[in-house]
Structure 1
Amino acid sequence: MSSPIRPDHLEEGASASVRRLLPTARQGPIDPFVFFDHFHAGAGAGFPDHPHRGFEAITLLLAGELRHTDNLGNDATLRAGEVQAFSAGRGMVHAEMVGAEQAAEGLQLWINLPRALKGIEPGYQRPARPRRVVAAGFELLLITHPEGPIRLHTPALVALLELAPGETFTPRAPEHWRGFAYVLRGRLRCHAGEAGAGEGLRLEGGNPLLSEEGAFALIALGQPHGEPILMRGPYVD
């Protein structure tokens, strides 16, 4: 079994700290996913105006509130338990800032756009709650379409998984899909190895996830584009 994916610890934006799982010197993009941060930002901190292009992004808030503004005229507040998304396409400028009264914690995932769609008009999907699915041994909060609220240009399964101790969960995804899991609590195991809180695992469609002690994790599986990925700071060309 391979080693878990371990994040870099960085300071970003205005007094925000992040654990960056993708990309690092040890782990590059996992097509179609090009970037993943677990961020913490104190009251009044966050990510002031900055540009993006060439990808789509999902932000999931775990605690606090985060205000999104952009040059498309959108202004919305993301609250704990909600998700939002944008398609940067040919280019946009946005900010995500924490309110003055409480800190915020969240996850942000970037999904590459195929080359044929790099020049599309940018767009924004307002805050919504994931769809909750409860079954024997696990609970899912589904984020992406068709069962979740967020629609992407790339077929993908993005969800929060709560796995009970001693249980197994097999994502319903085609075998050729690729991605990762990021563990928020507990320990998670799959064919690629085992990871604890703050670590990641590479995933392949159809492979089961196991946990002896229980786990809470984000899982992301998507259809690879099979195209070169050129990342230049906030741009994915």
Structure 2
Amino acid sequence: MSEVDAQLARSILACPASAEVAVEGFPAVGCDSDLGLRDEDGTPTFSCRTTSEMAEAGRTGSQALVTLASGLGPADSPERGLTLTLTGTLAIGTLDSCTCCGEVRHDVALHLDFVVLGSADGDQRRVPLAAFLATDLKLNRGYLQRALEHANDCHRDDLGQVVARTTGTPPEHLLDVVLTDLTTHGAELSWIDRQGGHRAALWFSRPARTVEELGVLLRKELHAGIC
């Protein structure tokens, strides 16, 4: 594999294509389509309804097995054949209220016992927990890919304003704008206007070293509305 196993494993946790969840004593958890999953500093953390079986499993400290299919890269990327298997003990966390609808949900953390990185050819390698939980792995390829996808899904108008501001293109001439690349050093924008297709790189004033710094640089140097 081209990356250190821990880096690749954290990238898959940040950017899974799909997830399968099995919890001891709570078979319905795996059928709950309302579960959310995020990387909380290396700890897989679920968001669930307060009355769900996942919340109850967290209260009872049940054992869980989570298998993630990689969402890294384009759909035909070889990295889509990778899997990440995580096992551990569930623990109920804090209550969180949605800012949009007011729904109250529980966080349930999976405190890890072991992590295994698998490949399409059947190779499996155990990832040391200390390496997997390293704080400097939070800003990883998977996080950057999800941030790029979020910008394209939710901030197209903001990206159009960036193109108009930096290139002088009248907003009414823009037909489409997408963020085609995002790294710790900058972003690449592609757009179509009445003259055809264009591409431009926008470099940050300094490299982002953390997730928080990346957010600040995106808002300060691209558009204040990008989250």
Question: Which has the larger share of strand?
Answer: 1
TM-score calculated relative to the size of structure 1: 0.27
TM-score calculated relative to the size of structure 2: 0.28
Question: Which has the larger share of helix?
Answer: 2
* Higher relative contact order, chain-length normalized (CA < 8 Å, sep 6+): 1
Q: Which structure: larger Rg?
A: 2
